[in-house]
Chains A and B, each alone.
Chain A
């Protein structure tokens, strides 16, 4: 588990990128970190990975301070948004480099995956396209079998087919090993179908974090139409987060409490549909409930 306590990071001693940030990333989860460009997602990952030294605060990984601790870093692998490969290095050379750094590196996994993705093993990676380079980086990261894998702007430049392939690969990695994946994106939709925990970084701190399943099960999106005339007050007994009405049909976002569905049925609606909620909607309504305008954040 990664616990971050009161983390502050400032550049030049003046610009606070992170301020009193608190966060808890559970084990064996895929943690999505979302936030606008420049919100500090990458800085947070760099602090966790000891690239940057925090101005103050503490990062504890599996109960131990993580900064510059090579034993803890053995269980961490970080793929930044801006990738780097040594000039002239092929995927094989890069894999060998990773192998020398990580004790549990699986070279066979690199061979297999590269073959499936038709990546030339011996060609210089720097001659590859942006998406192919990212594929190489992700393959090497997964092959380390590290406990914590950090991806910054994970699927940037990767086509949808390969993206889905990697999502499955990450999921299978999770089931095989006790791996925790931390992903950042400025695009919530990209993380929606893979993350099981989400944190929103805004105003130099984690504004909101939660388990996605809990979020989804705790909220209902309902389309409803009643025989008689109705308005927002008709649902005043419920914990309505959002009410929108177009013609005779209203769309409600409701915090799912005991008796909510029974109450809705008791109104004898002409239409009563429970619709799936997207992560974006969940975040929007939760943030609005907290008093933030979500559109400004993401």
Chain B
């Protein structure tokens, strides 16, 4: 394949050159706003940055920057004069399309890479903790999301003859399906609906069910029991809406790439056969115009329908919304209103059609039912306590009796909530007693429960007392932490002696905070860093909290501040005991061996606070 047949660098260079101001502005604006938004966390003391924190501005700009970029590169098609100028040059449509796509992707790559490098620099040279995984995720997620929106914008440009028309197409491609899905969900939530749960074994009947024939029919009165039933538009979204719905967890890179390729190929053929004489007019072809208009009319009628459904008083408002939109759309797109009677009859027909569809969908959702066999093997998600906190753990059980027993439970007042997955799509939420929970734990193969944190995945350690205080995640301390987490010596709830450990897994920043007081080896290790931070940040205000110390202790310490600080500096590596003393200065804590502290008090004859003051 001859590369020059597809790509013309000189044209691309010129195309970028003429748009350089806006494109350079966008690069700089996004870069600096991004860095500023992330960097401002430093000032607010929030030094832990996850993927969502990195994505603040990028998420908003995902709907703006790629569209502006596409308009900069392909916007000539909207001006007849510019069409003449560009299309008469020695370059084919194929070269224009491929060169601009390539250029746009490179531009997006550069903009995302710059931001990624900016975050990396922030992570390296400031106190911010930004996991490398989050930075990589940022790069991958937003690179492909921006490219997706860019390609979709080109499809819009290829179809429409005006900028506003192109934006409408882009909005339809990206937002219509999520919009339908939301509409569908809301129609479902308005109603009670039923689910048939087929129990072949009588033991599996939920306690609130009643049986009809062979089937156990349960009247569901809320969405907790089986949440997801067959509805028309559930679960499939278009990137980047996935991000807004579920963050990175519901994002599929493969789906994004496939959709990008599909739209890219469609865009190629649309652009290649685009009628360049169609500039300044949104949609020259009346059929296309009507289809686009109707698609945009769907959410409008739904909003009107929804208002009316909730309160009859809104009927007039609903009618005004429908008519107003229909007329305004024509005014914007065609800049004229022709044949008012025809428009009104169209409004009546289409509104009746859509409202009819909403009723049918609502009815369908009301009666949505699904027959499900209880599988022989189910996945259960349950909270597992590691001694410090609960975290969800998924386990698979194949004990049919236990499965039936769990399904039949209906004790919503019990402490433990579990989710039983009957299939990929359907699940049941059950509440179980502590005894049943233990029983369940006993049933589960212990090997399935991996300790959440290992020496390999601990990325960062901070003091919970003061997040500024970072304890370097050396092999030595990670070993101590894992040893401590796997020991049984974890009972204390002394809030002042917590540390937090971090890992980045499945695109999420996961944390675990725990007390290290009962592990003196670990506490000694940790306290060195906390004590250093205390001394470094010490601003003169000092007091103690130990109630066994004499009354007026804090005043005494303040009076002998300098002597104490020197003393603390000299003894900061003294071994701690379980009854060590904590000194406070603002957010910082200083951990000191009780004997050392008492020696200091003795030396300065401060045991009797009254005498000194």
Contacts and interface: CB of A to CB of B under 8 A. Distances in A.
Contact of A49 (B10, B79, B81, B87): B87
A101 B81 contact: no
A89 interface: yes
Interface stretch (A80-88, A185-193, A256-264): A80-88
Contact of A51 (B8, B83, B90, B95): B83
A61 interface: no
Interface stretch (A66-74, A239-247, A282-290): A66-74
A53 interface: yes
Contact of B92 (A49, A51, A69, A89): A69
The B contact surface, by secondary structure, is helix
Contact of B91 (A82, A86, A101, A150): A101
A52 B83 CA distance: 10
Interface stretch (B270-278, B346-354, B395-403, B521-529): B270-278
A251 interface: no
A70 B95 contact: yes
B447 interface: no
Interface residues of B, number: 30
A50 interface: yes
Contact of A82 (B11, B81, B89, B273): B81
B596 to A, nearest CB: 74
Query: How would you classify the secondary structure of chain A's contact residues: helix, strand, loop or mixed?
Result: loop
B82 interface: yes
A295 B374 CA distance: 90
A51 B14 contact: no
A84 B18 contact: no
A97 B80 contact: no
A19 B95 CA distance: 30
Nearest to B82: A84
B88 A89 contact: no
B87 A51 contact: yes
B91 A84 contact: no
B338 to A, nearest CB: 16
Given A53-B275, A68-B93, A84-B79, A100 B88 contact: no
B85 interface: yes
A170 B404 CA distance: 94
Contacts, number: 74
B227 interface: no
Contact of B89 (A53, A73, A83, A89): A73
A70 B85 contact: no
A84 B85 contact: yes
A198 interface: no
B209 to A, nearest CB: 62
A86 B90 contact: no
B84 interface: yes
A101 B8 CA distance: 9
Nearest to A137: B85
B32 interface: no
B90 A74 contact: yes
A53 B90 contact: no
Nearest to B9: A100
Given A86-B18, A100-B10, A100-B13, A50 B81 contact: no
Interface string A150-181: 10000000000000000000000000000000
B89 A101 contact: yes
Given A11-B277, A86-B18, A100-B13, A68 B82 contact: no
A82 B84 contact: yes
B284 interface: yes
Interface in B57-92: 79-85, 87-92
B90 A101 contact: yes
12 contacts: A46-B277, A49-B88, A51-B83, A53-B276, A70-B91, A73-B91, A73-B92, A77-B88, A78-B84, A80-B88, A84-B81, A100-B13
What are the 10 tightest A-B residue pairs by CB atom distance, in nearest-first order? A84-B81, A78-B88, A73-B90, A74-B90, A100-B10, A84-B85, A80-B84, A51-B87, A49-B88, A70-B92
Given A80-B84, A80-B88, A101-B89, 13 more contacts: A49-B87, A50-B88, A53-B273, A68-B93, A73-B88, A73-B89, A78-B84, A82-B80, A84-B81, A84-B85, A87-B18, A100-B13, A101-B91
